[in-house]
Chain A
Amino acid sequence: MIENATQSERFEPLHDAHAIEQVVIVLQMAGPVGGEVFASVRKTSEQFKNDLPGQAEIQKLTVAFGQDPGFMGQPAQSEVHGFVMSRTAPNGVVETELRLEQSSITFRTTVYTRWNSVWAQAKNYLDIFTPLYVRNGSVAAISLNFVDKFVWVGDIAGCSPKLLLRPASKYVAPHVFELGDLWHSHTGAFLPADSQVKRLLNVNVDYLQEEPIAGPRRLIGISTSLTDLFNQPGYDPLQLDPNAVPQFLNDRMNDLHRFSKVAFGEVISANMSKRVALSIPS
């Protein structure tokens, strides 16, 4: 009875309860920390080996070319740039990943439950590692990125992005609604945040044909990315005390999360917002 009450052809959130394929949190420093500092980062990471048993080095490849004779004949140079720790599911999908590089920390997970849980997990790592970086440099940016996917259920001939996306959304190029083929829409803008923060919002919407192992499918992918940039011209400088890092990160990320939900809610329809229990903060 319940099944009959729903439309037979529709978009469904990727994971039924929600559409979030992955969440990425990035902390970017203004420059790389030195080798000694990074050695302490590596040493500190050992406490998380049980959480994230996979480990691999990240190579940075530098290729020089041009007319300058000084560059001629130089081979490509490769150096260790950082390392990545991860937890991988039996089917090979990376569930959680922590990338520690000389100028950035990146946390990524494909296991989204609820924001408080995911952020608590990321915070567990960031609170430990960020002070090591901050003692030796300044924070350039913090970013929160969500990738949501909505899969079409039904005959592809009947698939229409209008059934998912909010009509006249300011974040989707209007002409794509008139197209019959696949498309991509991108928008990016700096938005006012506060006296220290220059905030960049990127919304990418892809109307895709994917071919996963289970078979081809039509879907809409939405990437909502927010980046708070610090120490920008015309903005108050950020001087972060290492001891203040946990509170700073917590406040900043929760603010980005609130803002991200508002932006995402302006992309998908009201019905789908309800379907995925997207509660828009007032």
Chain B
Amino acid sequence: MSATQYIGTAGTAAVLAFGINLCPSTANSFGSEFAVRNISKIATTLPASARKRQAGSSFSTHDFGAAANDQIVQSNVAERQTSPVERIVGEMRRWTALSDDWDGQGASAPLEQSVKEAVAFVRMLAPGIPLPDPMVHANGRAGLFWQDGQMYADLEFLGDGRMAYYIERTGDKHKGVVHFDLLNLPPVFHPLLQG
């Protein structure tokens, strides 16, 4: 199965169709590279053979290997840029590789559940508001903080479904502990972090 084509035979004719084949009666469906090759079909990063064959220059009725080889070196690959939120989440997830005393001063290893809560929180922030910097506390809890001319905010995820916060904004100070279910931004943050 090539990267983009299903080739079947009908009598003395061969039919070349740029499409997927999931027909259950087709023997080739077993072991074919159906999925990734279908992806290639619609991807912006077509493998070399696919581009060539789309141009109609050549094809083979059995080119598993060719399709594989085409994937080995790909040129001019265009791909989506990693988003700022993904960068923050990535940094926090890297912490999970740290063990106790990661700072040389007796810090606890990052708490997996706390990191998970912080990740969930970052993902909920509305587009357009400044993103926080992530931090890990010596007690192993994950945190987020903002500091600019308008606001200082410091969140600590307790790892038990709660989070502690301290926010200074326009001269007012807010602090407390709220429940965080990983699915909904606690209401207290709506005016503070979404405005």
Stretch at the interface among B90-98, B140-148, B155-163, B166-174: B90-98
B73 close to A6 (CB less than 8 A): no
B77 at the interface (CB under 8 A from A): yes
A1 close to B77 (CB less than 8 A): no
Q: How many residues belonging to B are interface residues under a CB distance threshold of 8 Å?
A: 63
CA distance A277 to B19 in the complex (A): 34
Interface members, chain A 192-222 (any B CB < 8 Å): 198, 200, 202, 204, 206-213, 221
Interface members, chain A 67-108 (any B CB < 8 Å): 67-68, 71, 81, 84, 89, 91-95, 97, 99, 101, 103-104, 106, 108
Given contacts A60-B17, A213-B78, contact A66 B98 (CB under 8 A): no
Given contacts A68-B13, A95-B80, A188-B31, contact A140 B23 (CB under 8 A): yes
Interface members, chain A 149-201 (any B CB < 8 Å): 182, 184, 186, 188, 190, 198, 200
B73 close to A67 (CB less than 8 A): no
- Chain A residue nearest to B73 (CB atoms) is A209
Q: How many A-B residue pairs have CB under 8 A?
A: 211
A24 close to B35 (CB less than 8 A): yes
- Chain B residue nearest to A28 (CB atoms) is B22
Contacts of A68 in B (CB 8 A): 11-13
What does DSSP make chain A's interface, helix, strand, loop or mixed? Answer: strand
Contacts of A6 in B (CB 8 A): 94, 97
Q: How far is the CB of B21 from chain A (nearest CB, A)?
A: 8
CA distance A108 to B95 in the complex (A): 31
A22 close to B43 (CB less than 8 A): yes
Q: How far is the CB of B95 from chain A (nearest CB, A)?
A: 7
Given contacts A200-B30, A223-B36, contact A186 B20 (CB under 8 A): no
B184 at the interface (CB under 8 A from A): no
Q: How many residues belonging to A are interface residues under a CB distance threshold of 8 Å?
A: 81
A280 at the interface (CB under 8 A from B): no
Q: How far is the CB of B142 from chain A (nearest CB, A)?
A: 12
A15 close to B82 (CB less than 8 A): yes
B81 at the interface (CB under 8 A from A): yes
Contacts of A93 in B (CB 8 A): 44, 78-80
Besides A5-B97, A62-B17, A93-B78, 8 more A-B contacts (Cβ < 8 Å) are A14-B82, A16-B82, A24-B35, A63-B14, A92-B44, A106-B20, A208-B73, A275-B93
